[in-house]
Amino acid sequence: MLILGFESTAHTFGAAVALSNAKKGEELSPKNTKIIAENDKKYPSLKEGFIPRKLADFHAKNFDEILGNTLKTAGAAISDLDAVCYSYGPGIGHSLHVGYVAAKSISVSRNIPLIPVNHALSHIEIARFHSGYKDPLAIYVSGGNTQLLILEKFGSHAKYRVLGETLDIGVGNFLDHVGRHFMLTPPDAVGVLKEAQKGTQLVDMPYSIKGMNTSYTGLLTTATKMDPKKIPIENICLSSQEYAFSMLLEASERALALTGKKQIVGVGGNYRNKRLQEMTLELAKEQNAVCHFPSFELLGDNAGMITITGALQFHSNCFDETLLPNQKARADAEKVGWWL
C-alpha cells in the first residue's frame, strides 16, 4: 500500500509517502513499512511567534511545491495512492485546515480513504514503531504538551491513558518563554540549553508536583523576575531546566512505580534536549527499564510520523473519516486498534 500524509499542526508544513508490503493481518514494522519520500518547510517564527493567519498562508503557498517534490521523490502519481492522511489536531486552527483541505481534496478527487491522524498520538506511535516497545510509559514533552501516557485495553481495542500532565503550560512553552524574555540566541528553549551548559550553580525556584501532574507557571514567574545583573544568566537557565526536568521525571518515576512498566519512550520536540535525554536515561537505569528516543528529525514535527501512524490506522481499519480539524484533540480519545 502507498499512503500520502500531511503535517500542518503548527510551524511545519510537510508531506510524506509511506510504502508498505505488509500482508493482511501482518503487523506493520520498519521491515515492511518505510517512508520513501518526505519534504517540509518551516514557518520562520523567531521574532513574532506564530500568527495563525500568516501560518496558514505560508502552508498554502508551499503546498504545491512540497506535494510535487514528495511525489517526485517517491516516483509516484496521485493515482497510485491507496489512502491519504493528515494531522487533524491538536494544533493551531488556521494551519490545521490547510492540511485538511489538501488531504480531503485528494481523497474526494481520487475516491480513496481519508485518515485523520492525531498529532500527539503519532509522536508516541513513531517511537513505538521504531523501538518495537509494546507497552511503554510515554513521556511526551513539546511546546504545547507535557503528558505521561500508557496504553490500556478497552475491549477489542486499546487507548492511551494520561496518568499525569501539566496543569498549566508545557515544558517547552516555559523554556521558550524564558529564552524570549532574556533575548537569548536563539530566543527559545535551545538558547536556554546553550546558556545552561555554562551554568555552575543552581538558584532556588518553586518545585511544583502534585501526584503525577506538574505545573510550570510558578517557575516561569520566578525565572522572568530574576535580574541577570545579580544572578548570571547561565545559572538562571541551568536552574530553569533542572527544576522543570526534575519535576517531570519525578512524576515519571511515580508513574513507573505505579504501573510497573519497564519501557520508556521520550517523545516530542523538547526531547531533542540532551540534558533531558541524559536525565531520562538515569531514571531508566535506576528503575531497570529500557529507554528509546526517536531520531532528531522524528522528535520534531514531521510528516513521516503522521504517515506511519496513518498507515497503522489504515492497515488495521481503525480510523474515522468524519473527524474534522480539532485544535484540542487529545491522544487519550483515540482508538489504538493495532495494539497487540
Nearer residue to Mg ion within complex by CB, 123 or 315: 123
With CB under 5 A as the contact rule, which of the stretches 23-31, 141-149, 154-162, 235-243 interacts with Mg ion? Answer: 141-149
d(CA 117, CA 314): 10
Task: Identify the sign of the CA torsion 33, 34, 40, 43.
Answer: positive
User: Are the C-beta atoms of 85 and 117 separated by less than 8 Å?
Assistant: yes
d(CA 32, CA 176): 38
Nearer residue to Mg ion within complex by CB, 38 or 301: 301
Taking the complex as a whole, how short is the minimal distance between the CB of residue 143 and Mg ion, in angstroms? Answer: 8
Taking the complex as a whole, how short is the minimal distance between the CB of residue 231 and Mg ion, in angstroms? Answer: 32
Taking the complex as a whole, how short is the minimal distance between the CB of residue 70 and Mg ion, in angstroms? Answer: 20
Q: Is 301 in the site for Mg ion (CB under 5 A)?
A: yes
Contacts of 326 (CB under 8 A, 6+ apart): 88, 89, 90, 96
DSSP strand pairing (157-165 vs 137-141): unpaired
Q: Is the peptide bond before 325 cis (omega within 30 degrees of 0)?
A: no
Nearer residue to Mg ion within complex by CB, 92 or 323: 92
Q: Is 125 in the site for Mg ion (CB under 5 A)?
A: no
Nearer residue to Mg ion within complex by CB, 142 or 239: 142
Rg (C-alpha) for the chain, rounded Å, is 20
Nearer residue to Mg ion within complex by CB, 126 or 256: 126
Nearer residue to Mg ion within complex by CB, 263 or 302: 302
Tell me the residue nearest to Mg ion as measured from the CB: 301
Taking the complex as a whole, how short is the minimal distance between the CB of residue 166 and Mg ion, in angstroms? Answer: 15
d(CA 325, CA 329): 8
d(CA 315, CA 82): 11
Taking the complex as a whole, how short is the minimal distance between the CB of residue 299 and Mg ion, in angstroms? Answer: 9
| Element holding 335 (H helix, E strand) | none
Taking the complex as a whole, how short is the minimal distance between the CB of residue 169 and Mg ion, in angstroms? Answer: 15
Number of residues that bind Mg ion (CB under 5 A): 2
Q: Give the binding site for Mg ion (CB under 5 A).
A: 142, 301
